Amino acid sequence: MSDRLQAHLLTVGDLFTDPKTTYTIPIYQRNFAWSAEQIEQLLSDVQDAIRDGEESYFLGNLIVTERDSKMTSTDYEVVDGQQRLTTLYLLLTHLATDGDADSKPQSDRLRYQSRSRSTDALRRITARRPKHAAFDADDIHDEDQSIHQGFNIILQFLDQQVRGDDRRRFADYLQTRVTLVRAVLPKKTDLNRYFEIMNTRGQQLQQVDIVKARLMSVLGDEAEQSCFAWLWEACADMDSYIQMSLARGDTGLRTRLFGETWSWFRVTSFSDLVASYRLHVASGNGTNVTDHVDVSLTLDQALTKYAEMGASASTEDPDNERFRSTIEFPSFLLHVLKVWRPEDSDDEGALDDKKLIERFNAEFDRKNLDRDTLRRNVHDFAIRLIRSRNIFDAYVLKRQFTAANLDEGDWSLRRLVKGTAAGRRTPPPQYRNTASFAVESEDDTDLDSATNDLLLIESMLRVTFTSPRTMHWITLVLRTVDPDDASGNATILRDTLRDYARNQVRARVSATGEPPQGFDINRIVFTYLDYLLVSKTGSTDFRFTYRNSIEHFYPQSPDVEQSGDAVSADCLNLFGNLALVSVGANSKFSNSLPRAKAENFTETIERQSPKLHLMAETTRTHGWDDEQVREHHRQMVDLLRSDL
């Protein structure tokens, strides 16, 4: 073993083909924790690379070190990248069942140190029978459920979106064209020191940093550059409301920028923003800038200047730490670009964050634009960026974490206003229901009907389009909301988003509103139907959660030890026999018959889907056979037709 770091570019297929190479996840690493959002993002990235005709797709780095072993084989301890490595292992295992079920070169090549539940889960999945044979829930009870859920997420995604010849192309591209670097640390590496360095040295420049530097290089003087860097870093803090991050510790500036109520951004020109920034600096709250210097930075100079600026001020803020944004900053920038240049950016890849530099180059590196025009464009984009963040914060749902829901959070749709607490010289901001304009003395606790209606349609869209590249509805929010007429925004926006959802459903059903069958039914058909059912009741209790597993209420492989009504092959894959549930719920239901599900999983059914709730109620009263499947199918299709 060399005392130098060894790095090799490998394909995904190369990772596990060497029979003398194994990977061990050490005990200090956390358990496998990737959910549908991360796994589906990886699978979608590979799909996009194939669709775009990319020669190869790079997944990143896998950091390992060689473990002491008396065996002739090489056992690598996984230092960084275990979530991705486990996902690839599960993916290769599932793809192997499409061909020769005994051909699984990755078999037993991945292990978890001192965690038998995780290792047993991997072994069971590797030894799984071909195709779609399900596991009995009782058999896997003592094994790592997150690994089984991850495998089921992969199975559902591929069965629904990558089939036939596309599946073969996907498998071949994954194994021969998707690459990553396996970096082997020297054996003598002090891992504690390694982690300390990794956590303190700062991040490498990302695409978003290069875009920032290029835009700064167009600006004419250091005052403009510093002002732009200030607003950019404030907007990049996606988990903090822009009023707080842009004017941190300076309530006077907050009032100048957002008005007496701190609600809406009022500055209309970049020169006025620079003037406000100078006052901010003069108050001792901002980074110092020099007097105007007539300079024109090259890109290399701008990157150097960016690196020297260091990190922005701490984002720790007790008034903001309870919120988490729906998307990351690079994705947000692409939405803003679509709003700023709507005629150029509505194509399919407009929200692909891997093409962030390419998108901005198309707007700001045009050869026919002189420097003054480019500078004005950067000024204009900067104002649009802040205005869009202001709208985003108030009208795009977030996850809110409170003492009552600290682990998973809850959907939240709130706008920031200046506090009114008596006896406080500078009362803290309050977070009001977005559509509520009553004057309260404290934060709202209960949702008003208008806010609830908007939250319901947004949360439905959020759990349907899980990849940031498919969240075009957020662009609609930024285009639709008018801060100068805030009182009517919620109703107009709800109707706009509902029309968008209708169009998505129309594109995925027949001319008569009839959905396809089985796994061909798109997620939006299920979630929009659930939205219609909840809207009919006016309930404020139901919450949309992430669901990506199509559940056959009467199962495809019924438990032979249970007795009850049967559903024929003609009705098995009808919309009337299907519901969308989480992977965890699908695993709980296993191959139980409908009556067992309806009676034993009442609470799970209530949380999962209003459609599933109706199916369970019918089962408890009338049973569940072909007659009930067809009648439920007719009712649900009629509901869709009447809305569409």
CB atoms under 10 Å from CB of 417, counted, come to: 20
Residue 348: what pLDDT?
Answer: 66
Residue 181 sits at φ, ψ, to 5 deg, of -95, 125
Are 66 and 90 contained in the same domain? Answer: yes
Mean pLDDT of 517-522: 90
Which comes out higher in pLDDT, residue 453 or 424?
453
Residue 565: what pLDDT?
Answer: 79
Is 423 among the domain residues? no
**In total, how many domains does the chain have?**
3
Which comes out higher in pLDDT, residue 563 or 599?
599
Residue 294: what pLDDT?
Answer: 36
Residue 411 sits at φ, ψ, to 5 deg, of -65, 140
Are 127 and 218 contained in the same domain? Answer: no
| pLDDT tens per residue across span 476-491 | 999 999 887 766 788 9
Residue 288: what pLDDT?
Answer: 45
Which comes out higher in pLDDT, residue 4 or 497?
497
- Yes or no: say if 40 and 148 are a contact pair by the CB < 8 Å rule: no
pLDDT at 410 over 80: yes
pLDDT at 92 over 50: yes
pLDDT at 125 over 50: yes
* Residue 165 pLDDT grade (very low, low, confident, very high; cuts 50, 70, 90): confident
Mean pLDDT of 110-119: 85
pLDDT at 55 over 80: yes
Is 103 among the domain residues? yes
Least confident of 101-115, 131-145, 429-443: 131-145
Is 450 among the domain residues? no
| pLDDT tens per residue across span 317-334 | 454 557 899 999 999 999
Residue 121: what pLDDT?
Answer: 87
Mean pLDDT of 281-306: 54
Is 228 among the domain residues? yes
Is 460 among the domain residues? no
Is 609 among the domain residues? yes
Q: Which of 395, 415, 441 is the last residue of a domain?
A: 395
Are 531 and 612 contained in the same domain? Answer: yes
Is 340 among the domain residues? yes
pLDDT at 592 over 70: yes
pLDDT at 314 over 50: no
Mean pLDDT of 438-448: 62
Residue 289: what pLDDT?
Answer: 39
* Residue 301 pLDDT grade (very low, low, confident, very high; cuts 50, 70, 90): low
Packed helices 472-480 and 489-506: angle between N→C axes, nearest 10 degrees: 150
pLDDT at 381 over 90: yes
pLDDT at 291 over 60: no
Residue in the block written with tokens 């649009």 = 384
Are 360 and 214 contained in the same domain? Answer: yes
Give the residue numbers spanning the domain of 296.
Answer: 207-395
Terminal CA-to-CA distance of the chain, rounded, Å? 66
* Residue 293 pLDDT grade (very low, low, confident, very high; cuts 50, 70, 90): very low
Are 563 and 615 contained in the same domain? Answer: yes
Residue 481: what pLDDT?
Answer: 93
579 forms bridges with which residues in the sheet?
Answer: 551
CA 324 to each of CA 37, 84, 409, 418: distance values in angstroms, whole numbers, following the listed order = 15, 23, 9, 21
Are 583 and 639 contained in the same domain? Answer: yes
Which comes out higher in pLDDT, residue 157 or 460?
460
Q: Which of 146, 167, 200 is the last residue of a domain?
A: 200
The sign of the dihedral angle between the CA atoms of 139, 119, 46, 205 is positive
pLDDT at 443 over 60: no
Are 171 and 314 contained in the same domain? Answer: no
Q: How big is the CA angle at 342 (ends 338 and 345), to the nearest 5 degrees?
A: 60
Amino acid at 551: E
Residue 562: what pLDDT?
Answer: 75
Are 149 and 275 contained in the same domain? Answer: no
Mean pLDDT of 218-245: 92
Are 165 and 50 contained in the same domain? Answer: yes
Q: State how far the Cα of 386 lies from the Cα of 390, in Å rounded to an integer.
A: 6
Mean pLDDT of 576-599: 86
- Yes or no: say if 463 and 546 are a contact pair by the CB < 8 Å rule: yes
CB atoms under 10 Å from CB of 3, counted, come to: 8
Residue 127 makes CB contacts below 8 A (sequence gap 6+) with none
Amino acid at 500: Y
By percentage, how much of the chain surpasses pLDDT 70? 82
Are 295 and 156 contained in the same domain? Answer: no
Are 60 and 136 contained in the same domain? Answer: yes
Mean pLDDT of 530-542: 88
Mean pLDDT of 130-141: 53
Residue 398: what pLDDT?
Answer: 94
Query: DSSP label at 178?
Result: E
Residue 79 sits at φ, ψ, to 5 deg, of -90, -40
Least confident of 55-64, 183-192, 213-222, 294-303: 294-303
- Yes or no: say if 287 and 230 are a contact pair by the CB < 8 Å rule: yes
* Chain-centre distance for alpha carbon 163: 24
Are 382 and 268 contained in the same domain? Answer: yes
Is 612 among the domain residues? yes
* Chain-centre distance for alpha carbon 3: 40
* pTM tops 0.85: no
Q: Which of 341, 366, 395 is the last residue of a domain?
A: 395
Residue 316: what pLDDT?
Answer: 34
